[in-house]
Structure 1
Amino acid sequence: MDDQQRRNVLAAVGPRLRELRRRKSLTLAELAELTGVNESTLSRLESGARRPTLELLLPLAELYDVPLDQLVGAPRTGDPRIHLRPVHRDGMTYVPLSHPGGVQAHKLLIPPRPGREPELRTHEGFEWLYVLAGRLRLILGEQSLVLKAGEAAEFDTHVPHWLGPDGDQTVELLVLFGRQGERAHLKARTT
């Protein structure tokens, strides 16, 4: 890697950090509180006015739950595989299938949670899902749908929604999620 390439990699760190923070819906003040890194330092990192150091990037990588090389956009080593690191959150297992940026792909496993009432939520973006195994109960606003393996749905996540298994078996999904305005336009080909 020559000097210009190094400068380009370093220049891209700030915008990447800003995007990750926005995806988490955090302010700089909230991020400073969570990481112990000064708010001014975080602002300068995101604007490119401060060079990233390992000491500053490690707590951010941990909070954003991304590998350090992904955080800095380290050049590829020739291995095109994505190294899957499952994330367990709210009783569900998310397996990232893509790198951060643009539309995100995840495999999602939702086990049955007897006695737990659905909590409808809203957030920025669009979501597309495809049921791989099991039966999915999707509550979308006032509508309650059951999707079985092989069925798909797409919706604006501003609409209150909830996903869970329909029955006593884990449901397995492929989920594509994009920021507001980014939709997964998938069209079936006719023969």
Structure 2
Amino acid sequence: MTQEDEDLDSLVRKRIRALRVAQGWSLEELASRAHLSQSSLSRIENGRRRLALDQLVTLARALDTTLDQLVETATEDVVTSPVIDGAHGRMRWPVKADPGMSVVRQRMTEPPPENPARMRAHPGREWLVVLSGTAILMLGHRRFRLETHQAAEFPTMMPHAIGADGGPCEILGIFDRDARRGHRNDSGDDAQGAPG
């Protein structure tokens, strides 16, 4: 067995134990769920029994995860740098777990439009948190004031817009795949205006 194989073997055993402990399960409880003997599971966790593929599949299922997640190795690109859009005052970070997700940091100085005809509506969900200042979130005819550190989550089928209230504010928004698509113009570039 190579050093890389030994490292992966050790990592998988630690994950099995950590997932079991996180669920609050004893060896006996997980062994029962995975149709293994308690002593077999103990030897698997402690490295005294060879890991077999069929047992890993059963353990992954019992731990409510997938085999891929159980044997996944760490990636080198843990730290990401933002893509900066100076023209629109935005920074965007890709979300590796789901390429359809998008995280956007934006500084706003203008209030949002209050006329629903000037607001966006599209499939999806959006979540945002105010990093500094005060923001106004318009959802249809409703107006929500969000102070620093307050967050909002809403379906984007509701006409919506966000802007600053009484001075600049910064927000961090997370868009699902559909919401991100709804904030793009025909050329594929980010649409102008605040996320929301």
- Tell me the TM-score normalised to structure 1 length: 0.46
Which one has a bigger Cα radius of gyration?
2
